[in-house]
Amino acid sequence: MSNTKYIFVTGGVTSSLGKGIVSASLAKLLQARGYSATIQKLDPYINVDPGTLNPYEHGECFVTDDGAETDLDLGHYERFLSVPTSQENNITTGRIYQSVINKERKGEYLGKTVQVIPHITDEIKSSIKLLGEKGNWDFVITEIGGTVGDIESLPYIEAVRQLRWELGKDSLVIHLTLIPYLAASGELKTKPTQHSVKKLLEYGLQPDVLVCRAEHNIPQDVRNKVARFCNVEAEAVIASLDAETIYDVPLLMMEEKLDKIVLKKLSLEIGEDPDLNTWKTFLSKLKNPKNSVKIGLVGKYVELKDSYKSIAEALIHAGAQNECSVEVDWIHSESIETENASEKLSSLNGILVAPGFGERGVSGKLTAVKYARENNVPFFGICLGMQCAVVEFAQNVLGLSSSSREIDDKTQHPVIDLMEEQKQIEDKGGTMRLGAYSCSLEEGSFAHKAYGTTKISERHRHRYEFNSRYKEDFENAGMRASGINPKTGLVEVVEIQNHPFFIGVQFHPEYKSTVARPHPLFIEFVKAAAKKT
């Protein structure tokens, strides 16, 4: 395809309408038609990245191969498309301002007064075009966070208005709105959508396609009405109904012909309907499980399920692969104590101890590890979860008065310690060990069998690591370091072989699980859980 096409996705009426999923679904449909597509998220907050945000604020922080700490929507993009994203796929207001201010300090604006328009908007525009200019993509889909009318998102809308003007036929605006159903009158109401489009028009932006979230099917006369009031064609009014799973949305969008209308408006050939067979097979396995397992997810942010989004999705992918439904029991780590461990954990087929930061909840995590280890319950520890597995083993098997340096600064045996390169670091943002690192797996280990190869690469986000001084003691007592970073020698994977399934990983495998490529460790974990009686 000659020119990269730019599709902008804005939202109106309320937040949480599912812009990320609609964007990912559209990209999936375009990809299935043989086009290459990437998705970018513009976040209007002042944080330079979401890495410094508490998960309660914004859900999980997703990490890319290049070590960017990003919005969790990028996780959806990767899970749908199986194409890696990068720092360029997530821009925040903080990052835009930081870059403009750095340029100003270097004198790059040659004495000009630096203003929102044109300097901030130019910076936004170049961040959008940067992806397209690489020549790798037929489509760059840019999702604008927030809701039209928010003060914070104004510069983004203005940048899109200017880009629409510059790009002309190579661009398109999709606006997502809500058509609420009033039970009392039994009617679908279009007024909020009309107002939302008017707001967009006030800023000079005319949407080409409206995707309307609704709880009930939107009849043709309602679509006609929306079309008439909002200057769009009736066929460009797309209904997005509540779905049983987010993975239904690409198929629902295909039924509504979202991809066709987009291609038509961009003057591209429509061609045959896309082949979504692999996707459909996944959905059919997901919806027709042959058995079921209950996995306890032990973490301290369980009140907000989005905090563990990628883990929850990876379990769904692995469940489908095993034709097994996975019920997640969200267990607050602070609620687990020695006295109630059996009551809380005995009905589980598997225990996953989640990533996390700080001391709070760690004692419950250690108790959960001990329970899994002693009772032969399949165990999967991720990042802090792996570190807890190491500490628990040191305390209860090696009999050491030990801990992780993060939890107890003065511990006699810091079996998990601060990494050397982290010791001088003061800034909190973007300074952890981040992104993809390679790892060599020991021949014959659980991990090796699961991956089917000894050379892997996984993404990281942590400051502490296994203290190699203790490696031999662990190995002699039955906990093997089965995955090692070949360059630094850092321990990446630990496992206990005399157990049905006990594995801890310093990296985050959940970030790489996709619909097309469920993650091997999650697959094996669910498989082991299904075997547990």
Report the interface residues with ligand GLN, using CB under 6 A.
355-357, 383-384, 406, 461-464
What is the widest separation between alpha-carbon atoms in the chain?
75
Give the rounded distance of the alpha carbon of 80 from its chain centre.
11
Distance CA 27, CA 77 (A): 8
Which residue type sits at 263?
L
413 is catalytic: no
The Cα–Cα gap between 251 and 389 comes to 41
Q: List the one residue out of 117, 116, 65 whose CA is nearest residue 88.
A: 65
Compare residues 332 and 463 and give the one whose CB is closer to ligand GLN.
463
Give the pairing type, strands 187-188 and 90-92.
Answer: unpaired
Sheet of strand 350-353: strand arrangement: 324-332, 291-299, 350-353, 379-382, 502-505, 491-496, 479-484, 433-441, 455-462
- Please name the residue that has the structure tokens 């987010």: 246
Question: How far is the C-alpha of 507 from the C-alpha of 524, rounded, in Å?
Answer: 17
Angstrom CA distances, 282 to 286, 514, 516, stand at 6, 11, 8
d(CA 159, CA 55): 29
CA distances from 463 to 176, 264, 356, 358, 405 (A): 39, 49, 11, 11, 10
Question: Distance between CA 23 and CA 243 in Å, rounded?
Answer: 15
Of the residues 60, 78, 495, 510, only one is catalytic, namely 510
DSSP state of 47: S
Task: Say if residues 67 and 435 touch (Cβ distance below 8 Å).
Answer: yes
Q: Report whether the peptide linkage leading into residue 500 is cis, meaning its omega lies within 30 degrees of zero.
A: no
> 496 - beta bridge partners?
479
212, 324, 383, 388: which is the annotated catalytic residue? 383
**Residue in the structure block whose two tokens are 């020695």:** 338
The dihedral of CA 530, 309, 174, 191: what is its sign?
positive
Cβ proximity to ligand GLN: between 229 and 357 the closer is 357
383 is catalytic: yes
**Which residues fall within 8 angstroms of residue 97, CB to CB, at 6 or more apart?**
46, 120
Residue closer to ligand GLN by CB (options 139, 393) is 393
Q: What HEC string does 95-125 produce?
A: HHHHHHHHHHHCCCCCCCCCCHHHHHHHHHH
Nearest to 250 by CA among 73, 80, 55: 80
- Cα separation of 319 and 522, whole Å? 9
> Any catalytic annotation for residue 508?
yes
Give kind and range of the element (H or E) at residue 391: helix 384-396
Find the catalytic residue in 119, 460, 462, 508: 508
Sign of CA dihedral 282, 286, 288, 294: positive
Please give the positions annotated as active site: 383, 508, 510
